[in-house]
Amino acid sequence: MPPLKSLQHQFPSIDSNLLHFCASHGIFSVEDFLVHDLYMLVALAERQTSSKGLKEGIAQVLTFLNNQHFPWMNGVELLESTQHNKHFLLTGFDGIDTLLCGGLCEGNLTELAGPSSSGKTQFCLHAAAHVAYTYMCSVLYLDTSNSFSSKRISYRVNRLLASPNKGEKGRSLEGIMSSILSHSVFDIFSMFETLHQLELSLSSQLFQAEIQNSKLRLLIVDSISSLITPILGGKGPQGHSLMLNVGFILKKLAIDYNLAVLVTNHTVVGEGGNSKPALGESWKSVPHTRLLLSRDQMSNICNMSILKHTSMACGQTASFRLDG
Partner 1 sequence: MESAREWIKCDESAKSLMDRVSMERPSLLLPPPLHRAPLCAGNVVEIVGPSPSAKSYILLQAAINCILPKEWNGIHYGGLERLVMYFDLDCRFDVSYLSQSLKRRIVRAQGPDSHSLVEQDTHLDEVLFLACLKRFLYIRCYNSLEFLAALKTIRPQLQTESEGHGIGVHFLMFDSISAYYWIDRAYKPLSSAISNRKPFSLQSITEAVVQELRQLLQFHPMLVLATKPALLGLEFSACHITRKQSSSPSATGMLPLSRGAERFLYREYMPSAWQVILFLVDIA
CB of 100 to partner 1, least distance (A): 13
The DSSP line for 187-241 is SHHHHHHHHHHHHHHHHTTHHHHHTTTPPEEEEEEETSHHHHGGG--SSSSHHHH
Tell me if 274 contacts partner 1 by CB under 8 A. Answer: no
Residues 37-56 that bind partner 1 (CB under 8 A): 37-39
Residues 167-226 that bind partner 1 (CB under 8 A): none
Residue 255's φ and ψ, nearest 5 degrees, are: -80, -45
Interface residue with partner 1, options 42, 44, 65, 161 (CB under 8 A): 65
- Closest-CA residue to 288 (of 105, 96, 70): 105
Q: Which amino acid is at 45?
A: A
Interface residue with partner 1, options 51, 147, 308, 322 (CB under 8 A): 308
d(CA 122, CA 284): 24
Interface residue with partner 1, options 154, 178, 275, 282 (CB under 8 A): 282
Choose one: 32-40, 163-171, 172-180, 194-202; the region binding partner 1 (CB under 8 A). 32-40
Q: Which residues pair with residue 3 across a beta bridge?
A: 29
CB of 240 to partner 1, least distance (A): 4
Q: Which residues pair with residue 112 across a beta bridge?
A: 264, 291
| Contacting positions for partner 1 (CB under 8 A) | 1, 25-28, 31-32, 34-39, 62, 65-66, 68-76, 78-79, 82-83, 236-238, 240-245, 248, 251-252, 255, 271, 281-282, 284-285, 288, 308, 310-311, 314
